[in-house]
Structure 1
Amino acid sequence: MIKVNNRTSQLRGDRGDATREKLLNTAIDVFGRYGFDGATTRKLADAAGVNLQAIPYYFGGKEGLYVAAAEHLASIIGGHVGDLRAVIVARLAELDAEGAEMMPAEARQFLTRMVQRMIILFVSKESESWARFIIREQMEPTEAFKRIYGTIMGPMIEMARRLIGAILQDDPASEHIRLRTLSFVGSVLVFRMAHAAVHAQLEWEAAGPNEIETLRRHAAELVTVLGAEKDRRS
């Protein structure tokens, strides 16, 4: 009988988890920079500082690593917004069970908190590699896009749609609210997808505490103006 040292087994497992994590984090950056075809397994392994055979061992090949990187990216973003998202989703579910609608003021509060968190996340250095990966998938969607959209982007947009529908007191499923939501989301995404233009226009070298506070106020203003034209007509 072979005796297994539990401590040794745990250490091997920890090393394996660390190797897998390195590959996933590196893959987001490398695939984002070079695309699927340009990101060779050698380039991926070297960038992660792991053995070339780690890719087929953990992911079955480059294709498996690519999809796993998309899932990992969705998980990372979810980790930044998951707690607030859970609170909002629970509140919406509570109202649905009661057959009630969320009041515009409450919806504005939730949307403001979410937008402030997202804008600050988007100007962070951490999100640079995410943007490159996601932009490529927006241009030429693959299975990776389905994973990102299905687990994080889609649910976040749908949640925003529910909140914007409540603010504008219109059906969240209507084409009008869907379009308003997409336009609103675009006004937030610009801080990541057009990062260089944002910094050039604002004449910022970096997003420090003062800049972050400016962005928080701007995020609140984006929500405040939602429905303003309707209020003026009333």
Structure 2
Amino acid sequence: MARHKPTAEGGYQRGEETRARIVDSALRLFGERGFEGASTRDIATAAGVNAPALQYYFDNKQGVYTACIELILDRVWEQLAAPVACAEALVEDAACSDAQLIDCYLGLLGSFIAFIHDRPSAVDWRRFMAREQAGLGPPGTLALMDERLHRRLGTVTCTLIGRLTGYAANDERTLIRTFALNSQAMVFRVLRPQVLGVLGWDTIDQQRTQAVREVLLGQTRLTLQALVADRDARLAR
């Protein structure tokens, strides 16, 4: 685990600014070159510090990489914490309506869509996460992502979809549907050049993000309403 030593301890400039600069530089270089291709010396040089300073904060290259993962997870949860907590509370209420469950899921999907908006750090983050999700990071980082993000998110969304379809949260049909619905916004990150080319866009700004949001939420609402209707017809037989 990366260390964060207090500013009172000895010889290097310390503090949040220095640590953040190292992580920002590491995100860019890991995204461009991969974990093996980016050296600690290159990261330190890009951050404007010397190699011992990087080791002081993070011990080694894997420590820097883990700090990058933790930064991304923190930013993701800033966006998702409120809608996920709301969803977790709602699925505990056996009396909640299908309309409430649908609105709750759409709130989560809307939070996913917000991540396609281009920001100054977006390119570095996309490259970094593309390599990480392909399993090209150091050992243990996929497990960290699963523990800190995917497990909780998957549990609540599968429970929501299961309630709406009438199948158990761990039923294969529920899992397939949930993965498909949750991943709708990912195409705008993973296949970004192709999407931009088809749409004739040069970037995805706030206005275009809103356009994507309206289309995806609208079609997902129709899909979920159809699944509810299918559930009710199936149970009525």
TM range, normalised to the smaller chain?
A: 0.7 to 0.9
Aligned to 1:173: 170
Q: Who is 1:104 aligned against? A: 98
Instruction: Determine the C-alpha separation between the residues in 1 that align with 2:81 and 2:214.
Output: 22
Output one character per residue of 1:117-174: Cα deviation in whole Å (capped at 9) or x when no partner.
2112223233332222222122226311111221013322222212222222321111
Structure-2 change in CA distance of 1:222 and 1:42 (3 Å): farther
In structure 1, what is the equivalent of residue 147 of structure 2? 150
1:72 corresponds to which residue? Answer: 71
Match of 1:136 among 131, 136, 146: 131
Whole-angstrom distance in 2 between the partners of 1:189 and 1:212: 13
Check conservation: 1:30, 1:39, Cα contact below 8 A.
yes
Question: Amino acid of the residue matched to residue 53 of structure 1?
Answer: P
Once the two structures are TM-superposed, the CA of residue 181 in structure 1 deviates from its matched residue by: 1.0
- The answer on whether the counterparts of 2:165 and 2:230 sit within 8 Å (CA) in structure 1 is no
Q: Distance in 1 between matches of 2:89 and 2:15?
A: 36
The alignment yields a C-alpha RMSD, in angstroms, of 2.6
Alignment counterpart, residue 121 of structure 1, candidates 111, 115, 121: 115
Match of 2:3 in 1: none
Identity score, percent: 25
Give the whole-Å Cα distance in 2 for the aligned partners of 1:199 and 1:223: 22
Cα 1:57–1:118, aligned 2, differ >3 Å: closer, same or farther?
same
- Specify the alignment match of 2:195 in structure 1: 198
The one-character-per-residue Cα deviations of 1:196-225 (angstroms, maximum 9, x if unpaired) are: 111111111222343233112113124213
Q: Is the 8 A contact 2:44 2:50 kept in 1?
A: yes
**Alpha-carbon deviation of 1:39?**
0.5
Partner residue in 1 for 2:82: 83
Deviation at 1:75, TM superposition (A): 1.2
Query: 2:187 is aligned with what amino acid?
Result: V
Distance 1:174 1:102 in 2: 21
Alignment correspondent of 1:45: 44
Between 32-41 and 196-205, the greater mean CA deviation after superposition: 196-205
Q: Structure 1 residues 40 and 13 mapped into 2: Cα distance closer, same or farther (>3 Å)?
A: closer
Which residue, 221, 229, 234 being the options, matches 1:231?
229
Q: Structure 1 residues 139 and 216, CA, compared in 2 at 3 Å: closer, same or farther?
A: closer
TM-score, normalising length from structure 2?
Answer: 0.82
SS of the residue 1:225 aligns to: helix
Q: Which moved more, 1:198-207 or 1:53-62?
A: 198-207
Distance in 1 (alpha carbons) for counterparts of 2:214 and 2:37: 41
| Number of residue-to-residue matches in the alignment | 221
- Structure 2: distance between partners of 1:158 and 1:131: 25
Separation (CA, whole Å) in 2 of partners of 1:107 and 1:52: 51
Amino acid of the structure 2 residue aligned with 1:131 = R
Q: SS of the residue aligned with 1:221? A: helix
Alpha carbons of 1:225 and 1:129: their partners in 2 closer, same or farther (altered >3 Å)? farther
Unaligned runs of 5+ in 2: 1-6
Q: Higher helix proportion, which one?
A: 1
Q: How far off its partner does 1:40 sit?
A: 0.6
Amino acid at match of 2:135: E
